[in-house]
Amino acid sequence: MNAISSFVQARPLDGILTLARSLSGHHDDPRRDAKAERNATGAHVQIEGLQHRYKGAAANCLDKLEFKVTPGQIVALVGRSGCGKSTLLHLIGGLMQPSAGGVYIDGNRVKSACPRWVVMFQAPSLFPWMTVAQNAALGLRFAGRKAEIAKRIPPLLELVGLTAFADRNVQDLSGGQQQRVALARSLATQPELLLLDEPFSALDAFTRRALQQDVRRIAKELGLTVVLVTHDITEAAIMADRALVMAPDPGRIVTDTLLDPGPERHRDNPQFEAERARLATLFEATA
Amino acid sequence: MTEAAFSQPDRARSDAVNARIAMLQGWLRSMAIGALGLGILGALWALGGWYIAQSPGMFAFAQLAPVPTLERLWDMAQRGEIWDMSAPSLNRVGWGLGIAILVGVPMGILIGRLAWLRDLSNAPFQLLRMISPLSWMPIAIMAFATWDAAIIFLIFVASVWPIMFATAAGVKRIDPAWLKVSRNLGANPVHMLVYVILPAIAQDIMTGIRLALGIAWVVLVPAEYLGVSSGLGFAINDARDSLDYARLGATVLVIGVIGYALDSLCLLAIKRFSWLRSDT
What are the residue ranges spanned by the domains of chain A?
2-286
Stretch A127-136: mean pLDDT: 94
Residues of B in contact with A129 (CB under 8 A): 199-200, 202, 275
**Which of B181, B195, B200 has the CB atom closest to A121's CB atom?**
B181
Stretch B103-126: mean pLDDT: 94
Name the pLDDT band for B19 (thresholds 50, 70, 90).
confident
Rounded to whole angstroms, how far apart are CA atoms B55 and B48?
11
DSSP at A27: S
The number of beta carbons lying within 10 Å of the beta carbon of residue A168 is 14
Rounded to whole angstroms, how far apart are CA atoms A12 and A33?
19
Name the pLDDT band for B278 (thresholds 50, 70, 90).
low
Stretch A235-249: mean pLDDT: 91
Percent of chain A with pLDDT over 70: 86
Stretch A11-23: mean pLDDT: 40
Stretch A106-131: mean pLDDT: 88
A-B C-beta contacts closer than 8 Å: 58
pTM (predicted TM-score): 0.77
Asked if the model's pLDDT at residue A225 lies above 90, the reply is yes
Q: From chain A, which residues contact B within 8 Å (Cβ)? A: 93, 95, 113-115, 118-119, 121, 123, 125, 127-130, 138-139, 141-143, 169, 171, 185, 189
**Which of B186, B188, B276 has the CB atom closest to A115's CB atom?**
B186
Provide the mean pLDDT of chain B: 90
Q: What is the pLDDT of residue B30?
A: 92
**Which of A118, A123, A141 has the CB atom closest to B184's CB atom?**
A118
Q: What is the pLDDT of residue B9?
A: 62
Rounded to whole angstroms, how far apart are CA atoms B145 and B147?
7
To the nearest whole Å, the CA of B174 is away from the closest chain A CA by 11
To the nearest whole Å, the CA of B15 is away from the closest chain A CA by 19
Residues of B in contact with A184 (CB under 8 A): none
Contacts of B156 (CB under 8 A, 6+ apart): B96, B97, B99, B100, B103
Highest mean pLDDT among A80-84, B64-68, B194-198: B194-198
Residues of B in contact with A189 (CB under 8 A): 185-186
Name the pLDDT band for B8 (thresholds 50, 70, 90).
low
Stretch B259-275: mean pLDDT: 92
Nearest residue on chain B to A123, alpha-carbon basis: B177
- Look at A128 and B276 and tell me if their CB atoms are within 8 Å: yes
Name the pLDDT band for A176 (thresholds 50, 70, 90).
confident
Stretch A213-237: mean pLDDT: 90
- Look at B184 and A125 and tell me if their CB atoms are within 8 Å: no
DSSP at A202: T
Asked if the model's pLDDT at residue A4 lies above 70, the reply is no
Rounded to whole angstroms, how far apart are CA atoms A232 and A78?
7
Chain B, 197-236: which have a CB under 8 Å from a chain A CB?
Answer: 199-200, 202
Asked if the model's pLDDT at residue A17 lies above 70, the reply is no
Asked if the model's pLDDT at residue A31 lies above 70, the reply is no
Check: CB of residue B21 under 8 Å from CB of residue B14. no
Nearest residue on chain A to B194, alpha-carbon basis: A142
Rounded to whole angstroms, how far apart are CA atoms A213 and B188?
34
Name the pLDDT band for B280 (thresholds 50, 70, 90).
very low
**Which of A113, A123, A143 has the CB atom closest to B184's CB atom?**
A113
- Look at B275 and A121 and tell me if their CB atoms are within 8 Å: no
First to last CA, chain B: 32
Rounded to whole angstroms, how far apart are CA atoms B182 and A189?
13
Residues of B in contact with A125 (CB under 8 A): 175, 177-178, 180-181
Stretch A193-202: mean pLDDT: 89
Give the CATH fold of the A2-286 domain. Rossmann fold (3.40.50)
Name which of B182, B183, B185, B276 to mutate to probe chain A: the one with the most chain A Cβ atoms within 10 A of its Cβ. Answer: B185
Asked if the model's pLDDT at residue A138 lies above 90, the reply is yes
Tell me which residue of A224, A271, A252 sits closest to A15, measured CA to CA. A224
Check: CB of residue A176 under 8 Å from CB of residue A203. yes
Residues of B in contact with A142 (CB under 8 A): 182, 185-188, 191, 195
B186/A contact by beta carbon, under 8 A: yes
Asked if the model's pLDDT at residue A5 lies above 70, the reply is no
Check: CB of residue A236 under 8 Å from CB of residue A226. no
To the nearest whole Å, the CA of B206 is away from the closest chain A CA by 16
**Which of A118, A129, A169 has the CB atom closest to B185's CB atom?**
A118
Residues of A in contact with B193 (CB under 8 A): none
- Ranking A135-149, A181-195, A260-274, B206-220 by mean pLDDT, the lowest is A260-274
- Ranking A147-156, A217-226, B4-13, B156-165 by mean pLDDT, the lowest is B4-13
Asked if the model's pLDDT at residue B248 lies above 80, the reply is yes
3-class secondary structure for chain B?
Answer: CCHHHHHHHHHHHHHHHHHHHHHHHHHHHHHHHHHHHHHHHHHHHHHHHHHHHHCHHHHHHHHHCHHHHHHHHHHHHHCCHHHHHHHHHHHHHHHHHHHHHHHHHHHHHHHHHCHHHHHHHHHHHHHHHCCCHHHHHHHHHHHCCCHHHHHHHHHHHHHHHHHHHHHHHHHHCCCHHHHHHHHHCCCCHHHHHHHHHHHHHHHHHHHHHHHHHHHHHHHHHHHCCCCCCCCHHHHHHHHHHCCCHHHHHHHHHHHHHHHHHHHHHHHHHHHHHCCCCCCC
Nearest residue on chain B to A191, alpha-carbon basis: B185
Could you tell me which residue, B13 or B172, shows the higher pLDDT? B172
Stretch B252-276: mean pLDDT: 93
Q: What is the pLDDT of residue A89?
A: 92
